[in-house]
A and B are shown apart, each in its own frame.
Chain A
Amino acid sequence: MTRTIAQIGGPLAALLLLVAVFFAYEPLRKPFGGVPPPVEKLTVERTVLDENGIALKVRADGTEPVSVAQVQVDGAYWQFTQDPPRPVPRLASAWIKIPYPWVEGETHKILFVTRTGLTFEHEIAVAWPTPKVDAKAVWRLTLAGIFLGVVPVALGMLFYPALKTGGKTAFQFAMALTIGLLAFLLVDTLEGALEAAGQAAPGLNSAILVWIVAGLASLLLWGLAHWKGEAFTALGLATSIAFAIGVHNLGEGLAVGSAFATGAAALGGFLLLGFTLHNVTEGVGIIAPLLERRPSLAILAGLACLAGLPAMLGLWLGAFAFSSYWAALALAIGAGAILQVIIEVGLLLWNQIGGGDRTKAYAVIFTGLLVGVALMYFTGLLVQI
């Protein structure tokens, strides 16, 4: 025991000593002629526009705490208060409140000037009152969430009888279609995660975290599904698909919610309709593994909620409390879950082909994959603003 402690403690102590020596002598200082100017970075994480003006939550990054010396709004120095008022330490955040008479529907540019004279620009593309958290707003977002998530998934499930009558071929087709649509969602979710990561403070290394979290989520879900060594039941697979799609829909909700909050989604109705059509395909994917049994209505409803309700949660979060960093991580979990489900469905399909007419099976599967991706792509076009 003592030996183990010494074996671990020894190297750690040496490491601490190294750090101490480095800071005491600063070997890099001499050859490069004194202290270089600090590296500074400021990222805006949240924007609130209301009757008090503009409030911005900024996160600092750099070699020293960032002092916001002055703030320009639209090219004019403006009085502001900072909370907390001290320089913002690395990776910490602060609220900057500016009593600026912003104009609805117009663009405002904020420029933070730091102590060293560096500037960080932040654009409010379309100024719009930030929604207040009240019963009415929550109710509207809830309705929108159900419309965005649950309804289309349930609609997709209505294809159940049609697929069921098609027999084995229909099953293969539906499973292949599911893989196609999941593949599409995987790329889409990863892109979303990486984009959100790109907007978080760079010091948080969010992009790397996206890959790690996606991989871990995938492994963890795999482990959870198979830890008893049993193969997936059809219902288990359907549940996995529903869960993965649910996390993806959470991401969609986040994006739509934050767009609503800032008035960027002026074409909100059309946008929502586009997403609804887009998500119908997801319903087909969820029921695909269940074609060979007869699920109860309650189970179908439960699966629809599992896949759809996260959209509502996303809308709430997106509209009222949004952070690029957490959005990136949530989407990464979604990507991991989708990857795991793709593998599950793929295995199932592989085992299913078994004997019989392989050529026909391959043709059906290829067509299914193609139709799945194509459906997602073309309904996705509807979401364009």
Chain B
Amino acid sequence: MNNWWRRITMSRRGLLGAGGLALVVGAVGVARGQQGSSVEHAPVKTLPAGTVARHHAGHGGMLTVGEVDPARNGFDPSQLLTDWDRGRVRVLPDGRTLRDFDIVAEDKEVEIAPGIIFSAWTFNGRVPGPTIRVTEGDRVRIRFANAGSHPHTMHFHGIHAARMDGVPGAGEAAPGETFIYEFDAFPFGCHLYHCHSVPLKRHIHKGLYGAFIIDPDPARHPEHSEIAASRLLGTPENAHWQEFVMVMNGFDTNFDEENEVYAVNTIAHAYAHKPVAIDRRRPVRIYLINVLEFDPLNSFHLHANFFDYYDTGTTLTPTLKTVDTVMQCQAQRGIIEFTYGAHEAGMYMFHAHQSEFVELGWMGFFDVRDAVA
């Protein structure tokens, strides 16, 4: 049909489809002092980049608006960074350490970016779940109660028996049920756990994952005992380090199998709005874990600095030396070590080096200071 309406509302590139008219609209107003713009096809100045940005504080205006209330969520991304769950400790008759953990799966609404409420499935009411931190060789016992609305599991990336694998048929807890996972903590490194119930994508991306860190036992690594000690939480060597856990994740809020929000530790731009304070004089260690669903890769890029990287954290010598970017597929993880000792104080950015992820929330700052209270 010869429809002038449709034709006229088509752009010269033919980009506008049927949904187009509403956007080909002019309007009165906001008519303050720009000269030379009329309806004819005259050359009109392109809006210079930065004109508007300068008027806006914060990363040139490219940021989420507002702030997430940690009290509402019940967890604070600034505290998640250093919140190690060591379990209840008991020494077994054979001298080994037993660590008991209680973990509850529950449905919960989480504000993942200012104003955006995500219907999450959580471990202990937070996303990511608690950072389980044990020592190589410990006996680990996890009492997992499912208070959620669907069957869930805890599947640990570690060494364990098939019975303890946390997959459908082996260690899955139906709603209202409890399952106890028990295994020895091996190998040392930076690991993770996640729900392995099906459909897998949904159970993971709705928030059922967390960090599982096994510190090396210095006694088992005489050749690198000092390095191992620096990794072992609670030692004097370790006290010198500033350690953070960062779980790179994302959220598909509209069920299109693409993430609308990217982040580390769930909240978009959390560390851009509230930078991570760092004491310039002390070294930094980051336990970096990628659980991102729907995108094949994620990455970490550090500004104005280089770092050593220990893939999966299962070695005491770096697997990559002096790099400023690493990439990880889903469930890949590693340890990043660096120092800003030779730098001046200031804001140093870190982010995924997929620009798309940066712009959708996965970006933050280290606030490097001469001293941190």
Contact = CB atoms under 8 A, between A and B. Distances in A.
B46 interface: yes
A130 B29 CA distance: 10
Contact of A113 (B44, B56, B253, B356): B253
B23 A124 contact: yes
A115 B116 contact: yes
A53 B21 contact: no
Given A123-B23, A380-B4, A385 B31 contact: no
Given A70-B65, A115-B116, A255-B5, A324 B22 contact: yes
A47 B11 CA distance: 15
Given A101-B50, A383-B4, A117 B260 contact: yes
A237 B65 CA distance: 60
Contacts of A136: 38
A257 B26 contact: yes
B10 A264 contact: yes
B94 interface: no
Given A259-B9, A324-B21, A113 B116 contact: yes
B24 A261 contact: yes
A222 interface: no
B50 to A, nearest CB: 7
B342 interface: no
Q: Give the one of A115, A122, A188, A258 with max B CB within 10 A.
A: A258
Interface string A317-331: 011111110000000
Given A78-B61, A119-B253, A104 B51 contact: no
Nearest to A102: B47
Contacts of B64: 70, 77
Interface residues of B, number: 70
B260 to A, nearest CB: 6
A191 B1 contact: yes
Contacts of B5: 188, 191-192, 195-196, 251, 255
A192 B7 CA distance: 10
Contact of A196 (B7, B21, B31, B118): B21
A116 to B, nearest CB: 6
Contact of A125 (B1, B16, B52, B118): B16
A48 interface: yes
A321 B28 contact: yes
Interface string A76-102: 111110000000000000000001111
Query: Interface residue tally of chain A, by bracket?
Result: 35 or more
B72 interface: no
A291 B114 CA distance: 71
Interface string A249-283: 00110011111111111111001000100000000
Nearest to B40: A140
B359 A255 contact: no
Nearest to A275: B4
A126 B19 contact: no
B2 A377 contact: yes
A119 B300 CA distance: 27
A75 B361 contact: no
A140 B39 contact: yes
A385 B62 contact: no
A184 to B, nearest CB: 8
B25 A322 contact: yes
Nearest to A321: B28
A137 B118 CA distance: 47
B8 A264 contact: yes
A46 interface: yes
Contacts of A62: none
Interface in B98-120: 113-118
Contacts of A114: 116
A132 B27 contact: no
Contacts of A383: 4, 7-8
B10 A77 contact: no
A258 B24 contact: yes
B8 A265 contact: yes
A65 interface: no
Contacts of B168: none
Given A75-B359, A255-B4, A125 B24 contact: yes
B260 A119 contact: yes
Contacts of A123: 15-16, 19-20, 23
B268 A195 contact: no
B28 A133 contact: yes
Contact of B26 (A107, A320, A380): A320
B113 A77 contact: yes
A69 interface: yes
Contacts of A44: 22-23
Given A125-B24, A261-B39, A118 B254 contact: yes
B169 interface: no
Contacts of B114: 69-70
A141 interface: yes
Give the 10 A-B residue pairs with the shortest CB-CB distance, closest first. A117-B253, A261-B26, A69-B115, A76-B359, A99-B52, A192-B5, A125-B11, A380-B2, A104-B46, A322-B25
Given A102-B47, A122-B22, A322-B27, 19 more contacts: A70-B115, A72-B260, A72-B359, A78-B63, A101-B47, A101-B48, A115-B116, A117-B254, A129-B34, A255-B8, A258-B9, A259-B8, A261-B25, A263-B41, A320-B27, A380-B4, A385-B7, A385-B8, A385-B10
5 contacts: A46-B26, A72-B260, A123-B20, A324-B25, A377-B2
Interface of B: 1-13, 15-16, 18-31, 34, 37-41, 44-53, 55-56, 58, 61-65, 113-118, 251, 253-254, 256, 260, 268-269, 356, 359-361
